[in-house]
Structure 1
Amino acid sequence: MSTATLDLEKLCAARLYAVRVRPYLATALFALHLVESPHTPTMSVDRHWRCYVSPAFVDRMPVEELAGVLVHEVSHLLRDHHGRGERFAREHDAHGPGEALRRNIAADFEINDDIFGDGLPRPQSAIMPSDLGLPAGKLMEEYLREFHFGPYLPEMAWLDCGSGADGEARPWELGPDGADGLTEQQRDAVRFRVAQGINARPGTAPEGWRRWAEQVFHPPQPWRDLLGAALRAAVSAPGVGEDYTYGRPARRSAGLPGVVLPSLRRNPPRVSVIIDTSGSVSDAELGSALLEVAAIARAVGGRRDLVTVLSCDAAARIAHPLCAAEGIALVGGGGTDLRTGFAKALRAHARPDVIVALTDGHTPWPATRPPCRTVVGLFSRSPTWSEDDPGYIRARPPAWARTVEIGC
Structure 2
Amino acid sequence: MELAEKMKKARIQLILDHPFFASLALKLTYIEDKQTQTTIINGKCIKYNPDFIKELPIKQIATVLAHEVLHILSFHHMRRENRDKVLWNKATDYAINPLLIRSEFQLPDGALLDHRFDNMNAERIYSILMQEQPSDKQESSESQDYQGMGDVEDLPETESKQEVEAQIKQAMTQAAMIAKSQGNLPDYIERLVSETIKPKVSWREALQRFFSEITKDDYTWTKPSTRYLHNGLYLPSLETPFIGKVILIVDTSSSISNELINSFAAEVQEITSSFSIPLTIIYVDTKVQAIQEIEPDEIINLNPKGGGGTNFKPGFEFIDDHNLDPETVIYLTDGECYSFPTTPDYNVLWAQFGSFEFNPPFGEVIQVTD
TM-score (normalizing by structure 1): 0.62
Measured against aligned partners, the alpha-carbon deviations of 1:218-252 in whole angstroms (never above 9, x if no partner) come to: 459668x32x3343233322761422344242523
Matched, 1:307 2:300: no
Alignment of 1:31 with 2:8, yes or no, is: no
Equivalent pairs: percent with the same residue?
A: 12
Please tell me whether the aligned partners of residues 18 and 67 of structure 1 are also in contact (alpha carbons under 8 angstroms): no
Cα pair 1:112 1:126 within 8 Å, conserved: no
User: CA offset at residue 326 of structure 1?
Assistant: 4.6
Question: 1:44 and 2:40 equivalent?
Answer: yes
Displacement of 1:12 in angstroms is 7.6
- Equivalent runs, 1:191-340 vs 2, <5 Å: 191-202=172-183, 204=184, 209-218=186-195, 225-226=202-203, 228-237=204-213, 240-255=216-231, 257=232, 259-276=233-250, 281-282=253-254, 284-285=256-257, 288-300=260-272, 302-303=273-274, 305-311=276-282, 317=291, 319-324=293-298, 326=300, 336-340=313-317
Q: Distance in 2 between matches of 1:108 and 1:403?
A: 29
Q: Secondary structure at the match of 1:403?
A: strand
Cα distance in 1 for residues equivalent to 2:31 and 2:45: 7
Tell me which residue corresponds to 1:76: 70
Q: Give yes or no for contact 1:274–1:356 (8 Å, CA) kept in 2.
A: yes
d(CA) in 2 for partners of 1:55, 1:359: 51
Helix, strand or coil at the partner of 1:177: coil
Aligned to 2:90, which of 102, 115, 140? 102
SS at match of 1:17: helix
The answer to whether the 8 A contact 1:230-1:375 is kept is no
Distance 1:374 1:307, change over 3 A: farther
1:25-174 alignment runs, 5 A limit: 25-46=21-42, 48-54=43-49, 64=58, 68=62, 71-80=65-74, 82=76, 86=80, 95=84, 97=86, 99-100=87-88, 102-103=90-91, 106=94, 109-110=97-98, 113=101, 126-127=109-110, 138=118, 157-159=146-148, 161-163=150-152, 169=154
Q: How many matched pairs?
A: 345
How far is 1:295 from its partner?
0.6
Q: Which residue of 2 aligns with 1:402?
A: 364
Distance between the aligned counterparts of 2:219 and 2:341, measured in 1? 28
Tell me what 1:185 maps to: 166
Change (3 A) 1:234 1:221: same
Whole-angstrom distance in 2 between the partners of 1:359 and 1:244: 38
Displacement of 1:115 after TM fit? 6.8
Structure-2 change in CA distance of 1:245 and 1:84 (3 Å): farther
Task: Determine the C-alpha separation between the residues in 2 that align with 1:32 and 1:377.
Answer: 41
Computing the radius of gyration from Cα coordinates, the structure with the larger value is 1
2-structure distance, mates of 1:289, 1:31: 43
Which amino acid is 1:50 matched to? Answer: C
CA contact (8 A) 2:10 2:61 kept: yes
Distance 2:178 2:56 in 1: 28
- Asked whether the 8 Å contact 1:253–1:260 carries over to 2, the reply is yes
Shift of 1:102: 3.3
Q: Determine the structure 2 residue equivalent to 1:387.
A: none
The structure-2 alpha-carbon separation of the partners of 1:163 and 1:376, relative to structure 1 and needing over 3 Å to count, comes to: same
Letter in 2 for 1:27: S
* TM-score, normalization by structure 2: 0.68
Q: What do the CA deviations read for 1:98-145 (whole angstroms, capped 9, x no partner)? A: x2463365367436646777xxxx79x64457xx8x679956769987
Q: Distance in 2 between matches of 1:366 and 1:115?
A: 44
Q: CA deviation at 1:186?
A: 0.6
CA deviation after TM superposition for structure 1 residue 185, in Å: 0.8
> Aligned AA for 1:106?
Y
Distance, in Å, in 2 between the alignment partners of 1:263 and 1:49 is: 62
The code of the aligned residue for 1:293 comes to A
The one-character-per-residue Cα deviations of 1:135-173 (angstroms, maximum 9, x if unpaired) are 799567699879x89xxxxxx844461215xxxx4xxxx
Q: Match of 2:349, SS?
A: strand
